[in-house]
Amino acid sequence: MKVLNKIFQELSTRFIERDDSVKGILLSLMTREHCLFIGPPGTAKSALVEAAARLSGLSYFRALVSKFSTPDELFGPADIRELERGVYKRNTAGMLPEAEVVFLDEVFKASPSILNTLLSIMQERVFMNGVMHQVPLISLFGASNEVPEGEDDAALAAFSDRFLLRYEIKPVSDNVNFLRLLQEKEPTEQLPVLKDKNIWQHVFTAVDSVAVDDEIYRSLLDVKVKIEEDDNTPFISDRRWKKSLKILKAHAVLRGDTKVDVDEDFEVLIHALWDPGFPESRKAVEKAVKSVSDPISMRLQELLEAAKETVQTALNAPEESEAAHGLEAIKGLKRIMAELDKITANTPRREAKIKDVKSKVAQLQKEVSTKCLGITL
């Protein structure tokens, strides 16, 4: 949908090295699900969500949570007029229960009473205020510098599981991008606003209408089996697996399709299935998902790692056997290049990725030839 592409382009242009996070925000809004950002302070987590809400024309609430935070700070203070009548109600004007998009920083530091109220709001979209009220919440975004490792606390574990998508946010790493960061204006300045917020109802309908073929269900099962074969992955609830389908459907809409595709959409599952409480699960989930959705890229990565290991062995060899190890490394690298040529012939649509790997292997060949054989290629 054009409006989604406009929002994506606006945010990805303004926020440097944040394309994945921008996509996560849009997918969360499109599916009416919740998203967790993990990363150090000063990485534009709150600014990104606020900008997305403003661009989308949605009402927004933001708060920094600590162990000293009170329910009044999030859900509103007591309504004095109602108290005078003997009725306890909160004045929720401008507070969390009236917002469509919510951002809570350091969300895991909230007290048990706040967590319990948030659970009801996130899962059932209801808030008890004298009587039970429906809330307009579309998505709640949480942020944390760290997450409870192992999730020993049952309340925190249940709360964390409500975040369907989880993204790691790191400081800008590329030097050129860092210079852009210093030179460009604040990303939240002069943001355009979506005039017709009713467009979101059309978005929700479009996501619900996306077709899911039997191949998708079988491929999801394949991913599940592969994840469960790895000891480094924690339990993934049936609810999370079921809701992951919504993310796949939304991703299809985001790229302009009406049908989920294994090759095009499955990679986003990594952000839904890994568990930040078990950091080692990220690599295991990524491996399982890519082995189903993109086995060619998996094989390319394996070949590149093998090439690096081969060259490292030669470079670390004793001086007296350096030449022999160098020759052996060159032979190994040639075999890897030959396999890359075969992959190119069989899968031409992966040509760009293969070309990149071949370039890196060629550089490794030059390195080992110069160091071990005294030959400049």
Query: What's the confidence (pLDDT) of residue 45?
Result: 94
pLDDT reading at 59 higher than 90: yes
When mean pLDDT is compared across 31-35, 204-208, 298-302, the lowest value belongs to 298-302
For residue 40, the model assigns a pLDDT of: 92
pLDDT in tens, 245-255: 999 999 999 99
Q: What is the mean pLDDT of residues 26-35?
A: 97
Q: Which fold has domain 210-293?
A: Helicase, Ruva Protein; domain 3 (1.10.8)
pTM: 0.82
Per-residue model confidence as pLDDT tens digits over 160-173: 889 999 999 999 99
- Report residue 154's pLDDT band, with 50, 70 and 90 as the boundaries: low
- Which residue intervals of the chain bear CATH 3.40.50.300? 2-208
Which fold does the domain 294-373 belong to in CATH? Answer: Methane Monooxygenase Hydroxylase; Chain G, domain 1 (1.20.58)
Residue 34: how many CA atoms within 13 Å on its side-chain side? 23
Predicted local confidence at residue 7, as pLDDT: 92
Predicted confidence band at 374 (pLDDT cuts at 50, 70, 90)?
confident
What's residue 295's pLDDT?
Answer: 84
Start-end of CATH 1.10.8 domains in the chain: 210-293
* 147 pLDDT more than 90: no
Of 101, 96, 53, give the one whose Cα is nearest residue 73.
Answer: 96
Tens of pLDDT, residue by residue over 80-136, are 887 778 778 899 999 999 999 999 999 999 998 999 999 999 999 999 988 899 999
- What's the whole-number average pLDDT of the chain? 90
> Where in the chain is CATH 1.20.58?
294-373
Rounded Cα distance, 36 and 287, in Å: 22
CATH superfamily assigned to domain 2-208 = P-loop containing nucleotide triphosphate hydrolases (3.40.50.300)
pLDDT at 350: 77
Nearest CA-CA partner of 106 in 148, 162, 53, 47? 148
